[in-house]
A and B are shown apart, each in its own frame.
Chain A
Amino acid sequence: DQQVKQNSPSLSVQEGRISILNCDYTNSMFDYFLWYKKYPAEGPTFLISISSIKDKNEDGRFTVFLNKSAKHLSLHIVPSQPGDSAVYFCAASPGNSGNTPLVFGKGTRLSVIA
């Protein structure tokens, strides 16, 4: 029973356009949501997070939107760059992720085409 789902295994976007990565969750106890980016043979790198009491958090080209009623979040990357090509993982935790295990989705592979 997957608690965090990323239903699109892959996504291709043209350079300069918007990339939208989606994530759904089933556990209403999740309190924090995080996005990680992973290059081959490297560990996941933290990108951005959002608390359940907010509906939007922005950091440069990255914006995360949270819709609690739909149990859905999305990561927007604008403008997309070739260096953004990687696997993106959505993760959630029922408490502060500093002292609570993360539950991950299976990831979405983003390809940004020049």
Chain B
Amino acid sequence: GAGVSQSPRYKVAKRGQDVALRCDPISGHVSLFWYQQALGQGPEFLTYFQNEAQLDKSGLPSDRFFAERPEGSVSTLKIQRTQQEDSAVYLCASSKRVGQTHYSNQPQHFGDGTRLSIL
């Protein structure tokens, strides 16, 4: 498809279980971002990849959260020993290579997200 694809769309897990969320970015996009969106809030940054390199993981809330993008395309966000506060929509976004001029801002393009519910 032409857009960012995320799976599953919905995930229900029991507290303490591990979950894995998948993101398939737009073909050719070098940058990939993960965000967490709680109910009634705006998305909040979790982590950023450029190709296969994880350049920023400052937004990951705890060491239970882990993300990878081993071949520079598909990415997986893994949450271990899930807690109720992990319930949220997890959004993935991708963008093109950044240009050289100040006018060449590249927007991030978002998938439809995975809604995670922890019981």
Contacts and interface: CB of A to CB of B under 8 A. Distances in A.
Interface residues on B, range: 20 to 34
Contacts of B113: 43
B66 interface: no
Contacts of B102: 51, 53
Given A43-B113, A101-B33, A101-B59, 18 more contacts: A32-B105, A43-B111, A44-B43, A46-B107, A46-B109, A46-B110, A91-B42, A96-B104, A97-B95, A97-B105, A98-B108, A101-B56, A102-B33, A102-B35, A102-B43, A102-B108, A105-B42, A106-B41
A42 interface: yes
Nearest to A91: B42
Contacts of B41: 106
Nearest to B9: A41
Contacts of B4: 43
Interface stretch (B11-19, B44-52, B67-75, B79-87): B44-52
Interface of B: 4, 6, 31, 33, 35, 40-45, 48, 50, 56, 59, 91, 93, 95-99, 102-113
B108 A107 contact: no
22 contacts: A36-B110, A43-B6, A43-B112, A45-B110, A49-B107, A51-B105, A96-B105, A96-B106, A97-B106, A98-B31, A98-B98, A98-B107, A99-B50, A99-B95, A101-B45, A101-B48, A101-B59, A102-B43, A102-B45, A102-B108, A105-B42, A106-B40
Contacts, number: 76
A89 interface: yes
B106 A98 contact: yes
Contacts of B99: 96
A53 B113 CA distance: 33
B40 A99 contact: no
